[in-house]
Amino acid sequence: MNSISKKIGLFTTVVSMFWATGCKDFLDESDPSNFTTDSYFTTPAQGRSAVNSIYASLREPLSSGFGGGAWMMTEFATGLAGTDLGQAVNSYFVKDLRNTSDNGYSQTYWAAYYRGIANANLSIEKIPNIPAINPAEAKMLVGEASFLRAFYYFNLVRMFGNIPLVTKPVDLTSEQLKPTAAAAEDVYNLIVEDLKVAEASGLPWADVSGKVSMGAVKSLMSQVYLTMAGFPLQKGATHYALAAEKAGEVIDSKQFKLFASYDDLHNPAKKNVEENIFMIQFRTQILPSNWQVSIIPYNKNISQYSDETGGIYSTADFVKSYDAADLRIKEKQFFYTKFTNETDRTKEVDLGGYFIYKHFDNVAQTSTANSDLNWPVIRYADVLLTYAEAANEATGPSAKVLEAVNAIRTRAQLPALTGLAKDKLREAIWKERWHELCFENITWFDMVRLRKAFNVKTKTFENYVGHKFTYGPTVTERELLFPIPTAEIRNNTNLRQNNGY
């Protein structure tokens, strides 16, 4: 994906021209130097650049600063995250369960992901008709675009529930300019259809440049089926079996493996390889990753970044819910509590909390202030745990289920699980998901599909609705969804706000 950033500006121009030409023509002549969607999709290279542009929307929610960052929304909704950034009001609204439809985090996700969907719709419709394009190339490009559309819809439907389902390019005369919301099941059906298109497109199993791969497609399929098996659709056993099948295909491909060291989770040299199946791409000096200022403590003078925001960190209660022997809670594995002083690296600073080390760029923090890290979207660890959960639900405990979950535990230097009945193994797998996949925009989605929350004090699972965060607020039914942004309701009167907002 190194060329993506170079192509985004051009495609933005194309899309702008598309919207402008939706109005009635005011000139009889067209300027051949201007692109429209019809004149743009004329060469195979333009098809490639069009698909490249779809990836841009992945990055937008990760932008972070003194106002917080949209990516934090699903983390604060778990009750497992704290913040010292008083001016990031959107964080506190979510964290304290006082959220409203004016929250800018929701607006960022909605706008960015529907922009990605719009670009995907253009590519899916136009690329097959590009003259002289190789049919196999066109099929793979459409497969890529279909995966990305599925990814955006998968996140939107889980966050907001019944949402507009737009599958064709829209101009100012389109009936879908102000669409009504579709039922969640209809959105999931499109997601599955899109992923089947991607699965049949001939994509390679892995792609070191960061583009969509077959490994990413089948991994996402397993996550979608796992979610459909639970709430709100409750498809049950059939979809647990499908989730296990797709995750099993990724495992059996032997194309991916767990990193030997947790350090590799935030090692730029390990982008898009081994455990990292699909990532959001960044590049130092060109498109540097932009969450580093959020995962360092507030003004402790440890970083080369001028902004030390203290935007998000783990609650102490969550870290203490791990087994005391778990390698993941040892210093500078998943979390860090101390770091060296910016002006004198021989001096150590006590940070007063558990900050997130799994996303920490050591080079950027200590020297360049310009990060080269990618953001993980699908890790092989998630595939193993998805397989373990789904297969256990579908057919019960087995050697392969235990092998999958114990691979995670072995790396964490924990004893292997053995001899557990289905119900006990279920909760053991859930617990590994909470502890392994924390702060990767996964846990809240697990809470909602399971309708369960992890009580970090008792180390047991309880109902999500009625679950009390350790710092006070109690989850109600309205927290099963986020509010549809005010601006979207105002601009499209066909939308209806989610209950409780």
- List the CATH number of the domain containing 496: 1.25.40.890
Q: Is residue 347 part of a domain?
A: yes
The helix-helix angle for 4-20 and 44-54 (nearest 10°) equals: 90
Q: Is residue 95 part of a domain?
A: no
Q: Which residue do the tokens 């059996």 mark?
A: 252
Which among 341, 373, 405 is the end of a domain?
373
Q: Is residue 191 part of a domain?
A: no
Q: What would the mean pLDDT of 41-63 be, rounded to a whole number?
A: 97
The helix-helix angle for 237-253 and 380-395 (nearest 10°) equals: 140
Residues 182 and 286 in one domain: no
Given a cut of 80, whether residue 7 has pLDDT beyond it is no
Distance CA 411, CA 334 (A): 13
Residues 106 and 2 in one domain: yes
Q: Is residue 340 part of a domain?
A: yes
- Share above pLDDT 70 across residues of the chain, in percent, rounded to a whole number: 93
Given a cut of 90, whether residue 105 has pLDDT beyond it is yes
pTM above 0.75, yes or no: yes
Q: What would the mean pLDDT of 329-343 be, rounded to a whole number?
A: 98
Q: What would the mean pLDDT of 444-463 be, rounded to a whole number?
A: 98
Q: Is residue 311 part of a domain?
A: yes
Q: How high is the pLDDT of residue 35?
A: 62
For the segment 247-266, what is each residue's pLDDT rounded down to a tens digit? Answer: 999 999 999 999 999 999 99
Whether the CB-CB separation of 470 and 457 falls below 8 Å is answered with: yes
Given a cut of 50, whether residue 174 has pLDDT beyond it is yes
Which among 321, 340, 373 is the end of a domain?
373
How many domains is the chain built from?
A: 2
Which among 373, 400, 420 is the end of a domain?
373
Q: Is residue 381 part of a domain?
A: no
Residues 307 and 175 in one domain: no
Given a cut of 80, whether residue 29 has pLDDT beyond it is no
Q: How high is the pLDDT of residue 232?
A: 98
Residues 34 and 180 in one domain: yes
Q: Is residue 207 part of a domain?
A: no
Q: What would the mean pLDDT of 35-46 be, rounded to a whole number?
A: 85
Residues 156 and 32 in one domain: yes
Whether the CB-CB separation of 266 and 373 falls below 8 Å is answered with: yes
Residues 172 and 307 in one domain: no
C-alpha closest to that of 70 among 95, 98, 96, 91: 91
Residues 12 and 140 in one domain: yes
Residues 33 and 161 in one domain: yes
Q: What would the mean pLDDT of 402-407 be, rounded to a whole number?
A: 98
* Residue span of the structural domain in which 337 resides: 282-373
What is the chain's mean pLDDT, rounded? 93
Q: Is residue 303 part of a domain?
A: yes
The helix-helix angle for 422-436 and 399-411 (nearest 10°) equals: 30
Residues 171 and 31 in one domain: yes
DSSP run (H or E) holding 335: strand 335-340
